[in-house]
Structure 1
Amino acid sequence: MLSKEKLARISELSKRAKSTGLTKAEANEQQSLRNEYIKTFRQSFKQQLHAVTVVDENGNDVTPDALKESKKNKNNRAH
């Protein structure tokens, strides 16, 4: 998760971009912060997905193979 300060800065730059525009340095900063936010979001989302197991009404594990493979690869990297 990004710090509150970085999230506030993203919001500030977004508001300024809509109202008065950004300098080149501010636009670069905004893009950098957005990239960092997206990277953090994706990592968090993958962690949430790796905690999921899909079970049908009969109690059978029907987790998609792609998710099972991703979990296996994650576990192999941790060792």
Structure 2
Amino acid sequence: MLENHKLERLNALAAKKKSENISSEELEELKGLREAYLKNFRSSFRKQVENTKVIDPEGKDVTPKKLKRIQQNKNNKN
């Protein structure tokens, strides 16, 4: 998870960029923070999807086969 102070800095730099010019150093810092944020977001989202089970209204498991394979491979590694 991205630390709170880094998220606050990301938001501050993004707001500053919208309202005024920012230095090249700040722009590089903003890019790095965005990359860290996106990496964290993608990882969290992937974990959430990999732990999802899809059930239809009749109560049958209709989880896509590809997702079931990923889940089985993950369980076999543990």
Tell whether the structures are fold-level matches, with TM greater than 0.5. Answer: yes
Structure 1 residues 69 and 21: alpha-carbon distance in aligned structure 2, compared to 1, 3 A threshold:
farther
Q: Which residue of 2 aligns with 1:5?
A: 5
Q: What are the ranges of 5 or more consecutive residues in structure 2 without an aligned counterpart? A: none
Number of corresponding residues: 78
1:51 Cα deviation after fit: 1.7
2:46 is matched with 46
Moved more, 2-11 or 61-70: 61-70
- Deviation readout 1:4-28 (Å, 9 max, x if unpaired): 1001000110111012211111111
RMSD between aligned residues: 1.5
Q: TM-score, normalised by structure 2?
A: 0.84
Q: Deviations over 1:16-45 (max 9, x none)?
A: 101221111111110110010001001111
Is it true that 1:30 corresponds to 2:46 in the alignment? no
- Choose 51-60 or 41-50, whichever is displaced more: 51-60
Residue 71 (structure 2) aligns with: 71
**Which segments of 5 or more consecutive residues in structure 1 lack a partner in the other structure?**
none
Structure 1 residue 76, shift from structure 2 partner? 4.5
- Return closer, same or farther for 1:75/1:21 CA change in 2, 3 Å cut-off: farther
State TM-score, norm by structure 1: 0.84
